[in-house]
Structure 1
């Protein structure tokens, strides 16, 4: 559509207005919420975490074929991922919104190698702000061009439809007030390709919307690996000071309990800045202890900022927060969780003084949302308030949960909508805050499918002493430990943490069975990354490792897994079930430690074969599972693997 000269001019106003809004957003990155005068441009702190994409149509078991990308840019440039609709998934704190701000920065600054470089107009909307707004054009006017009176809603529509290249980014579908509704609003019409079908659209979310078209491609953010953590420290904390980088890493990694939390980029970022600012960062034995310390840091910074008679007032609010606890608990204990509230009612419930402090400290964040009272072009805003991160909501909700558990033995009503597989830290915090409440929760968890492993972690949270869970860990590791691709993220995370606790305490791990988790070895060669994004570090006490899949392994992938396995110094057997293997593996890539320990490497696919460690060739075994000329044989292991192979064929 050809624009009139007047609209051509207004198009320039529109683009300039968008860039002005985005600059205000991407120039205000705040790694530590309680230090409001330390703001960063997103390009100065953005670090690429893991990104994986589903490159194939839905295959067997309905999971598709996932592959790691080198860069977020490949989401838009990889020809195998070509589509007009892209879903970018990630857990809370994994950097979905930060990624969208980096894309906005790229567009505003004409970054030459960015996929946004040739986009004529970029629309970035935070869906949680939309309230009752159903029109895309009204949302653009209300949130992105509120300071530009020269362009109307109707002119925005004409201009956008005249553009040859429009990219729309809808950030945070899981926080969208109209999510999963049957309303025929523009957001759902866009997702379902009924609106802007020829435009590129990216949607970030924790979970998949119900109205997806088959053309929609899926990507997921898997968190920070060691390389990304190093890069962030260098880029945003110490400016390439090698000595300072190592000091921060040492302070962080001597806290083994932080290893799990530091996979979450948002938590790692806060931890890295705290480790840099505090030379005497204490050691933590539980995530409860760490979070309590972090809240204390928030308040200590505020006390130092106001060196007057308000210290006692700050201390009182730090210790007494029952109203905030109750609101947080009520928000989480619903079928559809409530993560934001109208400011006026919220402030009244917690008290004006407490509220102002929570905002000042950074525990709470205010945000404008379009009011339900808006009509036509008369846009009204309501100030909403939310926790800085859902983890903070879980922290305060855990305090109220403890209070409720002290006064009842019937957990069914209290825990009605509290899913431990979604709110794992709520349960861990509650167990760490109060021993008696913890016992009730642990007994409840043990009755859930897969809850026994999480219950063990909650025991550790409760006591802070690994010795208190040693009997449970020993019992768990004495049998087959299975990690399946269909397990929840919580169950996988609990299992991997317990395996690492066992290894560090020299507890023998009989066998680990990875079923369709598509493991790959990271660049360091020290971690096995599962499809879920979780990692399994070197397990020195692991005796047998069995990996299931039905895909084809390359020479490089096979060599990497073999190399990783060789570093598990107690390993006796490595078994691949269902894989299509290269005919040979270069002898030079077979670690000498495997040969000296006579580790058996099996492959059960169409035939039963073992890897000859001397020649690098797969050889068919005899009836007893021996290679030609070999006498020594473990009958129990062979029969176990053979039974698993037959089970795989039945699947």
Structure 2
């Protein structure tokens, strides 16, 4: 199933951002910038940004696939060599050539590879996926930083992907890049994806594909447009999960936490169905999946605070890791480098690492409050945006945890000068970070509880809820709070 994800070029201007849409992923390598009135040159350094699950990695995969297939209608085919590298798998003790050998070409001589790349740099494209998943030692990689700063292989085309909240950090380290924003699906893309999903589902289940696909699409769209998750449906990974749940019950969850919980339950049902002889007990399946997430959550949360998304298998309890692999939230892959053989463990998506971490973290609220607070104190004004989904899931899983987390988040916003204007007041307007406590509050589904009426929290959020245009939130969230 193929549905195009939108790509929007963003040119930084003195008085704002100039945007225009690309027709295809391949057009990323054809972007030109003006050097004078008539002279232009191709842009060689491009940063692809977007929220989790928007399609950044899919864009990289599409470019690599089109190049490998020699698609003549794709501009990517003009390059002689393409290297698609995953940043979270990079060994920080090696250089670019060693990384390419490790991930792609173990049988090729390093010296000959280096010589060819240096001699034909303009014919080379390097795709680096997942800067936001890089370890804190990534900048120490031999000559990778030089490539990113155009000090080496300046003529090569380098495309890097990252979550939007890491753009500032990236540009601070490596200089200005032309930015391509991946907003996810267009409205047409959403409808097309849903139509193709339902059609494939009917074919797989031997239904009459001529009957009811358009009707199902219309019904689903009406339901999702009335849902608080409507804006998130433009994110491909979220839309795929919504479709997956809809085809079973024709119902949609109300929050992001509820969505992930239902998807995990769906995965657990599928796992049990392979061997079950009796009818599945849904509650037992849910309890088992929650225990699995809890048992690997300690590794997941440590990884988040250490900026790690790739783990060694021996960091997990053996039984817990086997269960997590069976559930499908992690994968274990054999890695060979020279004479060393290890097993790398990665989560299905970073958001799955975050919800596993949240399951473990919220359980501590009743058993080890000091440990719970130790992790909470590591959430600061410098990383609160990176920890947004961990905080969302934690608040969605436990109201008791939310009662501790929300005042801490509010305190960060009140005390940290970067949220304030020149006069020292919290600037409510056009500040995306101030949306975070609203999302956390909404995940609790507790509009009128003590959380919502907590004086300090409520006084901070009330003008924001009533006045600010929240760019990333959906109207369902705003309406539900404006009623209070």
The aligned counterpart of 1:462 is 444
Say if 1:311 and 1:467 are closer, same or farther in 2 by CA, change over 3 A.
Answer: closer
Residues 234 and 241 in structure 1, CA contact (< 8 A), matched pair in contact too: no
What is the 5 A alignment of 1:386-535?
A: 386-406=346-366, 408=369, 413-418=374-379, 419-449=383-413, 454-463=436-445, 476=462, 481-483=467-469, 492-494=471-473, 498-501=477-480
Residues 11 and 18 in structure 2, CA contact (< 8 A), matched pair in contact too: yes
Q: Matched residues in 2 for 1:359 and 1:236: separation? A: 25
1:410 CA displacement: 10
1:365 CA displacement: 1.8
1:415 CA displacement: 0.9
Superposition CA RMSD, Å = 3.6
Say if 1:307 and 1:189 are closer, same or farther in 2 by CA, change over 3 A.
Answer: same
The aligned counterpart of 1:258 is 229
Q: Matched residues in 1 for 2:162 and 2:372: separation? A: 31
Match of 1:268 among 239, 252, 270: 239
Q: Matched residues in 2 for 1:281 and 1:315: separation? A: 20
What is the 5 A alignment of 1:630-645?
A: none
1:191 CA displacement: 0.6
Say if 1:124 and 1:498 are closer, same or farther in 2 by CA, change over 3 A.
Answer: same
- 1:189 maps onto 2:160 in alignment: no
User: SS at 1:193's partner residue?
Assistant: coil
1:493 CA displacement: 2.8
Gap regions ≥5 residues in structure 1? 1-43, 484-490, 508-651
Q: Matched residues in 2 for 1:184 and 1:345: separation? A: 24
The aligned counterpart of 2:424 is none
1:93 CA displacement: 1.3
Say if 1:91 and 1:197 are closer, same or farther in 2 by CA, change over 3 A.
Answer: same
- 1:171 maps onto 2:132 in alignment: no
User: SS at 1:320's partner residue?
Assistant: helix
Residues 391 and 440 in structure 2, CA contact (< 8 A), matched pair in contact too: yes
- Considering fraction of residues, name the structure with more helix: 2
Say if 1:173 and 1:224 are closer, same or farther in 2 by CA, change over 3 A.
Answer: same
Q: Deviations over 1:4-39 (max 9, x none)?
A: xxxxxxxxxxxxxxxxxxxxxxxxxxxxxxxxxxxx
1:409 CA displacement: 8.4
Gap regions ≥5 residues in structure 2? 34-40, 201-208, 414-427
Q: Matched residues in 2 for 1:142 and 1:457: separation? A: 41
The aligned counterpart of 2:185 is 224
Q: Deviations over 1:33-62 (max 9, x none)?
A: xxxxxxxxxxx43x3323222224x524xx
1:300 CA displacement: 0.6
Moved more, 191-200 or 202-211: 202-211
The aligned counterpart of 1:25 is none
Q: Matched residues in 2 for 1:121 and 1:242: separation? A: 47
Q: Matched residues in 2 for 1:137 and 1:410: separation? A: 42
TM-score (norm 2): 0.77
Q: Matched residues in 1 for 2:231 and 2:31: separation? A: 31
The aligned counterpart of 1:154 is 111
Q: Matched residues in 2 for 1:381 and 1:467: separation? A: 53
Q: Matched residues in 2 for 1:298 and 1:317: separation? A: 11
Q: Matched residues in 2 for 1:299 and 1:288: separation? A: 16
1:179 CA displacement: 5.1
1:296 CA displacement: 0.8
Q: Deviations over 1:369-428 (max 9, x none)?
A: 57xxx6xxx363432112211221222222232233335489763312235433333223
- 1:317 maps onto 2:288 in alignment: yes
Residues 459 and 468 in structure 1, CA contact (< 8 A), matched pair in contact too: no
Residues 134 and 187 in structure 1, CA contact (< 8 A), matched pair in contact too: no
Match of 2:324 among 358, 367, 376: 358
Q: Matched residues in 2 for 1:467 and 1:403: separation? A: 21
Say if 1:237 and 1:439 are closer, same or farther in 2 by CA, change over 3 A.
Answer: same
**Between Structure 1 and Structure 2, how many residues are aligned?**
431
1:359 CA displacement: 1.0
- 1:59 maps onto 2:14 in alignment: yes
Q: Matched residues in 2 for 1:495 and 1:250: separation? A: 20
1:197 CA displacement: 1.3
Q: Deviations over 1:545-573 (max 9, x none)?
A: xxxxxxxxxxxxxxxxxxxxxxxxxxxxx
Moved more, 409-418 or 202-211: 409-418
The aligned counterpart of 1:590 is none
User: SS at 2:468's partner residue?
Assistant: strand
Residues 130 and 162 in structure 2, CA contact (< 8 A), matched pair in contact too: yes
1:444 CA displacement: 3.1
1:303 CA displacement: 1.4
Q: Matched residues in 2 for 1:480 and 1:142: separation? A: 53
Say if 1:482 and 1:288 are closer, same or farther in 2 by CA, change over 3 A.
Answer: closer
1:159 CA displacement: 3.5
The aligned counterpart of 2:308 is 338
Q: Matched residues in 1 for 2:464 and 2:60: separation? A: 46
Q: Matched residues in 2 for 1:390 and 1:106: separation? A: 26
Q: Deviations over 1:135-169 (max 9, x none)?
A: 222222222123xx4x4222323333454622111
Q: Matched residues in 1 for 2:480 and 2:285: separation? A: 38
Q: Matched residues in 2 for 1:311 and 1:198: separation? A: 59
Residues 127 and 176 in structure 1, CA contact (< 8 A), matched pair in contact too: yes
Say if 1:308 and 1:187 are closer, same or farther in 2 by CA, change over 3 A.
Answer: farther
* Structure number, greater radius of gyration: 1
Q: Matched residues in 1 for 2:332 and 2:150: separation? A: 33
Residues 50 and 222 in structure 1, CA contact (< 8 A), matched pair in contact too: yes
